[in-house]
Structure 1
Amino acid sequence: MNMSSRGGASAVDTTMLAYLVVLAGVTTALHIWKLPPALPRLQAELGLSLVESGFLLSLVQMAGMTLGLLMGLFAEKIGLRRCLLLGLLLLSLASAAGAVFVDKTLMLVFRAVEGCGFLMVVMPGPALIRRLVKPNQLARLLGVWGSYIPMGAVIVLLAGSWLLSMADWRVLWWLLAIVTLVVMALGWRMLPSDPSRPARDQRSSAWRIVRSTLGSENIWLVALCFGFYAAQWISVIGFLPTIYALAGVSGPVAGVLTAVVAGSNAVGCYGAGRLLHRGASARTLMIAGYVTMAATTFVAFGLGVPVLVQFLMVLVFSSMGGLIPTTLFFLVIKLAPSAETTSTSIGWMQQISAAGQFAGPPIVAWVATLAGGWASTWVFTGLCALIGIGMTLRLGVRLRARG
């Protein structure tokens, strides 16, 4: 275990520090998910169309979609800890600015800046956890890490919906800015300093690292699997409050239902970590997740079922889908071409994931606009699932050949 700290740390301490990294990830998820419960008010205040709302949901992923690989190199240069702390600072500043400067265009800009901060935190997260814990703890801790998005969603959708029932959305933006600063201070005080790095030779040049990362078919397959998972998950969960509002479900109730669905994803993420630790096949876990996501969205949106049945189907969609991200975080660390390409491999996976999250909500909103409702949502999610299954099968072949 690679360890560097101001005063040293015991095995228990390093596990707690790994949970602090998870807390930083959850904090970034609060910023991602603060928008859905506030979206109806923002639509009314800023005059946003449905498609513009979709872009507002997904624009936070712009930085990840364009800068993931470069951010991996950036973290490799400045250190994983420093990258994470700078990302938390950027998120806090952008959230505060969004509460002060209220304008449709500026809101889009600040969401893009938040996307940069998000990426700077979540990209080095798995590598920091690997640095902190013993190898036999890694799968379980990555299971916890993989649930940072749904855990953040539960917190902000429940507490945020409650807060928004009493206060303006700007209060939520300010509150999250303060919380993020607190987490940054904890990270600065407690996380071990980045180890000193020897001078790099020609073999470790930036171009060589990028070429090695992008030259790996395994990394491409892992990244694309994540992208097609993320596109369908965020599209369904992100629009749930709007879907429930159209069905006549009140704001606080819609927030609770959406939070339960998003939180169920954490159960799948954690379960995948436990199953991987016990030797379960990554291929089996991913195919089970994709097949379930396709089947449940068909029932939920394609058959015109009552709201209760739709809720149950989306609940299963989210929980079983959680098997996928943890498995992919585990695989990307395992399949990185070399130790020095771990950060860029994770960055590339985040980049493709962000592209899926960026494209998914506007596409689903566009389909809903053409169809006059959400009944055709299953076509998009089913197509994503089928592509994900195909890539998983290809990845399974390469894993067996690799031994």
Structure 2
Amino acid sequence: MVKPASPWPAVLLLYAAGLMAAAQLGKLSALAPVFTPALGLTLAGAAWAISLLEVGGATLGAVAGLLAQRWGLRRTLQGGLVALALAGLGSATAQGQASLLGWRLLEAAGYLSVTVTAPVLIARLSLAAGAHTQMLAMTLWSTFVPVGLALGASGAAAAALPLGWRGALLAGGVLAAVLAVAMRWRWPAAAEAAADAADAEREAAHRAESHHAEDSAAFHAATRRAARPGMAAWCLALGFGLFALFEVGLLGLLPTLLVEQAGLSAAAAGQWTGVASLAAVGGSGIAALLQRHAVPARWPALLALALPAVLLWGIFRPAPDAAWAVGLAIACNLLGGVFASYAFAMLPRVAPRPAQLVRVNGLITQCGASGSLLGPPLMAAGVAWGGWTGAAALGVLITLPALPLAWRAFRGR
């Protein structure tokens, strides 16, 4: 057996790939006021360009996981980074809506390639150093969206000042290309060898324990069945999708609430929304601390899922106090970071075999992306139906089915 090496160089490299992918969520939002008039886009056209990144995950997440397993996880990841680089370079030359959307589609493919492979590789590589290391590594991964989104938005806005919006997009493409080269040449081969050896040992043990080991056809059929997501995995994925619907819906409507109801300027509302989003990182730190002290996952995860639905009534109401609304939004996202961390830490537990891990991660990606797409329009429909308190009521309706799903996913784990 290959002597285990420290997985952290590989984990941090993979986390950087996740940050690069998530940065694509924030960069066009930050640059929209500049490129929209420059390209002659309507507001709807700019919105399509921004949201298109999640379409691939919402429609093809589960399928992408299976294809990545067939093509090779690291190869798919590297291909995704190359796609992000090419899309960044290409979108800097866009002359209209059609070309911008075309490059955004390539960017969506790169984003999906990274998000369906990086957490699986992190889970595999970190397990060689022990279950506790794996849990911490997956907790780190759970922060990639808020951190990457914030870095993408702030970085694109800062780069656009001296370089213009095209220069900002070009710089993003160059950074993705540098990361793709680093992934190719600085990959810790020793950590991957240890993970491969551990996977081989687990598969050999499974085959030895199978009652049908002597019957190759029966064994392979049983292996295919075992690779399918189980009930706990489905509950985790669906619960995470409902969580994403609530969380992204809250963040999507928060700037409008703060401007129209709390009296803040658009700039201040955007800044405080960014602070609220980054609060999820603090929640991940709390989850890591609880895991370090071996606190059972179920109750912290359930409380982190349920409490934001209560706090939402203090945010989504007519004429809220600005400081009160912002503080509660930060608390909601702090709790959201706790739940997201536990959800990703549970991924290797509900999918202990390598083939399961890829499929379940693809399923979680698809459910999370679907929730992210549906969250803002559904919450906006709640406002149209019953005012701001209607959105709070909708948040409760979203949370209620998520709780039993999370209860089942975290049962006895």
Normalised to the residue count of structure 1, the TM-score between the two structures is: 0.84
Farther off after superposition, 352-361 or 37-46: 37-46
Gaps of 5+ in 1: 4-8
Query: Distance between the aligned counterparts of 2:95 and 2:337, measured in 1?
Result: 35
Partner deviation per Cα, 1:367-398 (whole Å, 9 max, x = no partner): 44x359756432333322222112122334xx
Q: Percent identity?
A: 23
1:84 aligns with 2:80: no
Query: Distance between the aligned counterparts of 1:309 and 1:391, measured in 2?
Result: 31
- Partner residue of 2:181? 185
Match of 2:108 among 115, 138, 142: 115
Give the letter for the 1:25 counterpart. Answer: G
Q: Secondary structure at the match of 2:92?
A: helix
Q: Secondary structure at the match of 1:23?
A: helix
Normalised to the residue count of structure 2, the TM-score between the two structures is: 0.82
* Contact 1:54-1:362 within 8 A present in 2 as well: no
- Partner residue of 2:27? 34
Displacement of 1:59 after TM fit?
A: 2.6
Classify 1:273/1:367 alpha carbon distance in 2 versus 1 (closer, same or farther; 3 Å). Answer: same
Displacement of 1:226 after TM fit?
A: 1.0
- Partner residue of 1:46? 41
* Contact 2:239-2:406 within 8 A present in 1 as well: yes
Classify 1:61/1:84 alpha carbon distance in 2 versus 1 (closer, same or farther; 3 Å). Answer: same
- Partner residue of 1:217? 231
Classify 1:57/1:363 alpha carbon distance in 2 versus 1 (closer, same or farther; 3 Å). Answer: farther
1:328 aligns with 2:343: yes
- Partner residue of 1:249? 265
- Partner residue of 1:394? 408
- Partner residue of 1:6? none
Classify 1:116/1:374 alpha carbon distance in 2 versus 1 (closer, same or farther; 3 Å). Answer: farther
Farther off after superposition, 104-113 or 358-367: 104-113
Partner deviation per Cα, 1:244-267 (whole Å, 9 max, x = no partner): 56555243x444323211111111
Residues 4-83 of structure 1 correspond to what in structure 2 (within 5 A)?
10-11=5-6, 14-41=7-34, 45-49=40-44, 55-83=48-76
Displacement of 1:82 after TM fit?
A: 1.5
Residues 160-239 of structure 1 correspond to what in structure 2 (within 5 A)?
160-164=156-160, 168-193=164-189, 209=224, 212-214=226-228, 216-239=230-253
Displacement of 1:162 after TM fit?
A: 4.0
Q: Secondary structure at the match of 1:380?
A: helix
* Contact 2:25-2:152 within 8 A present in 1 as well: no
* Contact 1:58-1:357 within 8 A present in 2 as well: no
Q: Secondary structure at the match of 2:316?
A: helix
Query: Distance between the aligned counterparts of 2:387 and 2:97, measured in 1?
Result: 25
Farther off after superposition, 165-174 or 333-342: 165-174
Query: Distance between the aligned counterparts of 2:134 and 2:352, measured in 1?
Result: 19
1:142 aligns with 2:152: no
Farther off after superposition, 21-30 or 306-315: 306-315
Displacement of 1:240 after TM fit?
A: 4.3
Residues 307-322 of structure 1 correspond to what in structure 2 (within 5 A)?
307-322=322-337
Give the letter for the 1:249 counterpart. Answer: S
Give the letter for the 1:47 counterpart. Answer: T
Gaps of 5+ in 2: 201-215
Query: Distance between the aligned counterparts of 1:374 and 1:159, measured in 2?
Result: 33
Q: Secondary structure at the match of 1:391?
A: helix
Residues 272-291 of structure 1 correspond to what in structure 2 (within 5 A)?
272-291=287-306
Partner deviation per Cα, 1:254-311 (whole Å, 9 max, x = no partner): 4432321111111112321331232222221221222222122221112531222221
- Partner residue of 1:101? 94
1:152 aligns with 2:168: no
Query: Distance between the aligned counterparts of 2:73 and 2:364, measured in 1?
Result: 17
Farther off after superposition, 123-132 or 258-267: 123-132
Farther off after superposition, 130-139 or 240-249: 240-249
* Contact 1:18-1:129 within 8 A present in 2 as well: yes
RMSD of Structure 2 on Structure 1 (CA):
3.2
Partner deviation per Cα, 1:120-139 (whole Å, 9 max, x = no partner): 11222222223333123111
Displacement of 1:208 after TM fit?
A: 6.3
Classify 1:128/1:175 alpha carbon distance in 2 versus 1 (closer, same or farther; 3 Å). Answer: same
Partner deviation per Cα, 1:61-97 (whole Å, 9 max, x = no partner): 1211222222222222232221211111111222332
Classify 1:381/1:102 alpha carbon distance in 2 versus 1 (closer, same or farther; 3 Å). Answer: farther
Displacement of 1:99 after TM fit?
A: 2.8
